[in-house]
Amino acid sequence: MAMGLGVEAEEICKAYQGGRYEVRMNLYPPCPEPERVIGISPHADNSGITLLLECGNMPGLQFLKDGKWVTVMPTDDVIVVNIGQMSEIMSNGIHKAPDHRAVVNRLKDRMSIVTFCYPDSSINVGPAKELISLGNPPLYKTLTHSE
């Protein structure tokens, strides 16, 4: 990601050296009235990146794209990599932390295993200095992950 942005990788890596990984397992039981229920409400992750495994070939994960919910079809041996808000800040908005949600279905259980990669909670994270110039002001505050 640093290479793609043309910024110093060391700065970004430093923030993750004392970082934290959090694993969450979500289980969505089948629901007789799925259209009246939401599995996880729309949100953006506050991680740096999120690694998401959809288990059991049951779709449910949706991302908001151009105002429409788009389903991510589970694919064998594939991990979905999602951008979190801390990366949106570091990239000064070039990488977006997209809104997503999970819906339920009436047929069977769905499970996802999600790993959130967080920067060091006490390190200051702000837009990378290489991305800031007179014409490109910082669009985000510099803050720590706990803030």
Ligand X SMILES: O=C(O)CCC(=O)C(=O)O
Residues that bind Fe ion (CB under 5 A): 45
Distance between alpha carbon 21 and the CA centroid of its chain, in Å?
13
Assess 74 for contact with ligand X (CB under 6 A). Answer: no
How does DSSP classify residue 91?
T
- Least Å distance between CB 69 and Fe ion? 14
State which of residues 7, 15, 19, 45 lies at the interface with ligand X (CB under 6 A): 45
**Residue 88 binding result from Fe ion, ligand X, none, given CB thresholds of 5 to 8 Å by partner type:** none
Nearer to ligand X, 5 or 61 (CB): 61
Residues of this chain, 85-124, that bind ligand X according to CB under 6 A? 100, 102, 112, 114
Give DSSP secondary structure letters for 47-72. SSEEEEEEETT---EEEEETTEEEE-
Nearer to Fe ion, 12 or 49 (CB): 49
Nearer to ligand X, 116 or 127 (CB): 116
Assess 40 for contact with ligand X (CB under 6 A). Answer: yes
φ, ψ of residue 85 to 5 degrees: the values are -65, -30
Edge-first strand order for the sheet with 20-28 is: 20-28, 110-118, 49-55, 80-83
Alpha helices (H) along the chain: 2-5, 9-17, 85-90
State which of residues 60, 74, 119, 127 lies at the interface with ligand X (CB under 6 A): 60
Nearer to ligand X, 90 or 116 (CB): 116
> Contact, 60 vs 54, CB < 8 A?
yes
State which of residues 7, 12, 49, 61 lies at the interface with ligand X (CB under 6 A): 61
Assess 129 for contact with ligand X (CB under 6 A). Answer: no
> Contact, 60 vs 25, CB < 8 A?
no
